[in-house]
Amino acid sequence: MNRTVSLLLTAIIIIAIACQKEEKKEAAPSSSSAQQKAAEQPSAPVAEIDPSTLPVKPKRDPGTVTVEHILISYRGSKGPPRIRSKEEAKKLADDLLKQARAKGANFEALMKNHSDDKALPLTIFRDERGSYSRSFVQCAINLSPGNIDLVESEFGFHIVKRLK
Between strands 148-153 and 156-162, the pairing is antiparallel
What's the structural domain count of the chain? 1
| Position 27 in a domain | no
**H or E element that contains 16:** helix 2-27
Q: What is the pLDDT along the chain (164 residues), one digit of tens a residue?
A: 566 656 656 767 777 676 666 555 555 555 555 556 555 666 656 667 666 666 655 555 557 788 888 999 999 888 877 889 999 999 999 999 999 899 999 988 898 888 888 776 666 655 555 567 788 888 888 888 889 999 998 889 999 998 88
| Position 139 in a domain | yes
The answer to whether 147 touches 141, Cβ cutoff 8 Å, is no
Residue 136 pLDDT:
82
The answer to whether 74 touches 163, Cβ cutoff 8 Å, is no
| Position 103 in a domain | yes
CATH label of the domain that carries residue 114 = 3.10.50.40
| Position 92 in a domain | yes
| Position 37 in a domain | no
| Position 72 in a domain | yes
For 123, the domain range is 64-162
| Position 140 in a domain | yes
Phi, psi of 107, rounded to the nearest 5 degrees: -60, -40
Residue 97 pLDDT:
92
The answer to whether 128 touches 143, Cβ cutoff 8 Å, is no
| Position 9 in a domain | no
